[in-house]
Structure 1
Amino acid sequence: MWSLSNIAANIDLWLNEQVGATWAVVLEMVIAGVAVIGLFATLGLVLVIMERKVSAWMQIRLGPNRVGPKGMFQSLADTLKLLVKEGMTPGGADKLLFNVAPFVAMIVAMLLLAPLAFAKDFQLWDLNIGVLYISAVSSISVISILMAGWASNNKYSLLGAMRSGAQIVSYELSAGLAVLAIVVLTGSLRISDIIQAQENGWWLFKGHIPAIIAFIIFIIAVTAETNRAPFDMAEAESELTAGFHTEYSGMKFALFFLAEYANVFIVCAIGATLFLGGWMPFHIGNWTAFNGVMDWIPSSIWFFGKTFALIFLIMWFRWTFPRLRIDQLLNLEWKYLLPISMFNLLLVTLIAIMGWHF
């Protein structure tokens, strides 16, 4: 059946026949890099138009409807506009850090794609500490925001960056504990092992109530970590203009914009992998006929379907809840989410030790 893994296997076989094993590995790395860049470019176009259409649907209006059929090419037009705009650098800015910051944001997002399994047997790097790698690399993203805010020589940019730093560092704790709950249930940090453990049921369902609590906390925490509403205090337009990227324009602004949507995709892909089985189809017990139909759907469709369902959920948050004040934002994490996460991890540990999960 058509799948990403079959395409990858055929490319690998063809390259080995044509150029030998060594050059085949080199060319496969080049192809992987180009594919990641292409994926990010496509995600930027798709998620921007999706955001606008979702917001329009929730607000009972049309949304983009001029460029292309039903406005589907609006994000392409916006990209062309950003490409031709001049990139300005403020006179008092630290030019090196100012110019490097957007690239750091994109590089971190690209690194996070490495351990994710997009389909069955289709993974860039199945390292044995995949979850730890994701947690460690994702922590670097705050550096690009702090660099941009400080280097801009702008009080609004600096204040937005400091808010974002406090917010991301705070909510990383709850997100990490939610992820750790699934690691405890699985008994492995390897992404492929976590997915395989969900062959007979996704952890969201077979992990009982603690898994559901961990999932809810994870979604709230990653929404805050990606600076999405209602946690978008780092770029609160009414107070800070555009926050840490106030002074950015042209392609540098586009890179920050793209990195935000890339990070939304990545955190939703991680959530789909840990809690919803990743590429694993939906199975129900011994329902052989039903499970057979589910297996007929390509694994890549399952992965991207679950990921985009979670992206829709995060977009739903934006157009449902009002923006929190900075004190409310930090109170939510330190007084509520973190204690609940710690207690929930104890419950998950008890369930794993006693073998009470399905």
Structure 2
Amino acid sequence: MWNWQGQPLTGLHILAMLIGGVIILLMTLGVVTYTILWQRKIIGWMQGRIGPNRVGPLGLLQTTADVLKLLIKEDVVPAMADRPLFLIAPIIAFVPAFMTLAVIPFSAHHVFTANLGIGVLYYLALSAITIHGVMLGGWASNNKYALIGGMRSAAQMLSYEIPLGMSIVGVVLMAGTMNLNDIVTAQAHGWWYIIPQFLGFCIFAVASTAELNRTPFDLPEAESELVAGYHVEYTGFRFAFFMLTEYVYLFAMAGLCATLFFGGWSGPFLPGWLWYAIKVFLFITIQFWIQATMPRMRVDQLMTFSWKVLMPLALANLVITAVLKALVG
């Protein structure tokens, strides 16, 4: 076996990769657990409620109890569902979400992550695979509401993936590389790209919210219309897989935003991993703030906004960036 640089892999290298994968998985599960708790706490505070405060000290074990409840629930498969696809769809959705974390540079010393030369392309390619899991879950359920939710999700994620990718290309042009570690290094010795790429950041922020299916773009799970959308027929741990996918992507997207526009692990006085954690925490908190504040958009408004607003702005940002890059060098 060889790595991406063409160098042979020894048994020690493979063992190190396996250990790194396990550590990243455990860290991700911990982050997701307390991200959900933080979401419930901060939205409760914004809406004048208390939030979870019963299970464990200060309610810190509430999410753990909820996960345990899901794991021991009965795994129900509808009689008329396409059983093989119904069972495998949550896995197809989750695995790419977890794999995107392999290239996110959590610190200057990427011990457990890959220093991949095409890290940006790798992230975008894998994140697109999740669409298949969501769509298959909706179709295999043999439920009209689940099917509509899956189709909405596919249309939404494909539509917003284009301006999202184009906003990232502006950063790639400025840095001259698709390596996420090199993009962070390029910002460590100058301005964070949030300043020269402010328009690109605004496009990224809106498009990433739609990619994550979060308010105000949470049409695939519109409970008032679709009774929970594409995962309406799922129970127990398979439903938990879909929810885990959503929050893992939130973590990954926050890491990508911090890397591309806010200098990743770079910053004065504090350790690099702590700077990264602060930036990710702020991105996630803003997502929850938006969720507690904004109403859901109509589906026609959602699609129109992508193609008639974000796409022209993304093209304009790309052209402006390319021209300035050519003039300044």
State the TM-score, normalizing by the size of structure 2: 0.94
Q: Decide which of 62, 66, 72 is 2:54's aligned counterpart.
A: 66
Deviations 1:103-157 (A, max 9, x none): 1111101210111111012152112111111111111110000110010010000
Q: Decide which of 192, 196, 207 is 1:202's aligned counterpart.
A: 192
Residues 101, 148 of structure 1: 8 Å contact kept: yes
**One-letter amino acid of the structure 2 residue matched with residue 259 of structure 1:** T
Structure 2 counterpart of 1:3: none
Residue 165 (1) aligns with residue 151 (2) = no
Structure 2 counterpart of 1:267: 253
- CA distance in structure 2 between the partners assigned to 1:70 and 1:39 by the alignment: 22
Contiguous gaps of at least 5 residues in structure 2: 1-8
Give matches, 1:154-193, under 5 Å.
Answer: 154-193=143-182
Deviations 1:37-81 (A, max 9, x none): 212321221111011011012112211111122212110110111
- CA distance in structure 2 between the partners assigned to 1:341 and 1:73 by the alignment: 43
How many residues were matched structurally?
319
Deviation of 1:83 (Å):
1.3
State the TM-score, normalizing by the size of structure 1: 0.87
Structure 2 counterpart of 1:316: 289
Structure 2 counterpart of 1:333: 306
**One-letter amino acid of the structure 1 residue matched with residue 110 of structure 2:** F
Residue 126 (1) aligns with residue 115 (2) = yes
**One-letter amino acid of the structure 2 residue matched with residue 106 of structure 1:** F
Structure 2 counterpart of 1:350: 323
**One-letter amino acid of the structure 2 residue matched with residue 335 of structure 1:** K
Residue 222 (1) aligns with residue 211 (2) = no
Residues 112, 134 of structure 1: 8 Å contact kept: yes
- CA distance in structure 1 between the partners assigned to 2:301 and 2:20 by the alignment: 42
Structure 2 counterpart of 1:279: 265
Instruction: State the structure with more CA Rg.
Output: 1
Deviation of 1:244 (Å):
0.4
Residue 234 (1) aligns with residue 220 (2) = yes
SS across alignment from 1:41: helix
Give matches, 1:83-98, under 5 Å.
Answer: 83-98=71-86
SS across alignment from 2:102: coil
Query: Which segments of structure 1 move beyond 3 Å, counting only runs of 4 or more?
Result: none
Deviation of 1:317 (Å):
1.2
Deviation of 1:36 (Å):
2.4
- CA distance in structure 2 between the partners assigned to 1:118 and 1:301 by the alignment: 9
- CA distance in structure 1 between the partners assigned to 2:311 and 2:303 by the alignment: 11
Structure 2 counterpart of 1:140: 129
Give matches, 1:23-34, under 5 Å.
Answer: 23-34=11-22
Deviation of 1:216 (Å):
1.1
Contiguous gaps of at least 5 residues in structure 1: 1-20, 282-293
**One-letter amino acid of the structure 2 residue matched with residue 186 of structure 1:** A
- CA distance in structure 2 between the partners assigned to 1:198 and 1:174 by the alignment: 23
SS across alignment from 1:131: helix
SS across alignment from 1:139: helix
- CA distance in structure 2 between the partners assigned to 1:213 and 1:314 by the alignment: 19
Deviations 1:73-95 (A, max 9, x none): 11011011111101110001111
Deviation of 1:270 (Å):
0.4
Residues 168, 224 of structure 1: 8 Å contact kept: yes
Deviations 1:166-213 (A, max 9, x none): 0000000110111011001111111111111101221112x1xxx111
Residues 203, 275 of structure 1: 8 Å contact kept: yes
- Identity, % of aligned pairs? 42
Residue 50 (1) aligns with residue 50 (2) = no
Residues 43, 261 of structure 1: 8 Å contact kept: no
SS across alignment from 1:122: coil
- CA distance in structure 2 between the partners assigned to 1:316 and 1:236 by the alignment: 19
Structure 1 counterpart of 2:6: none
Deviation of 1:28 (Å):
0.7
SS across alignment from 1:87: coil
**One-letter amino acid of the structure 1 residue matched with residue 198 of structure 2:** I
Deviation of 1:158 (Å):
0.2
Residue 112 (1) aligns with residue 100 (2) = yes
Residues 175, 218 of structure 1: 8 Å contact kept: yes
- CA distance in structure 1 between the partners assigned to 2:10 and 2:322 by the alignment: 45
Deviation of 1:228 (Å):
0.6
**One-letter amino acid of the structure 2 residue matched with residue 42 of structure 1:** G
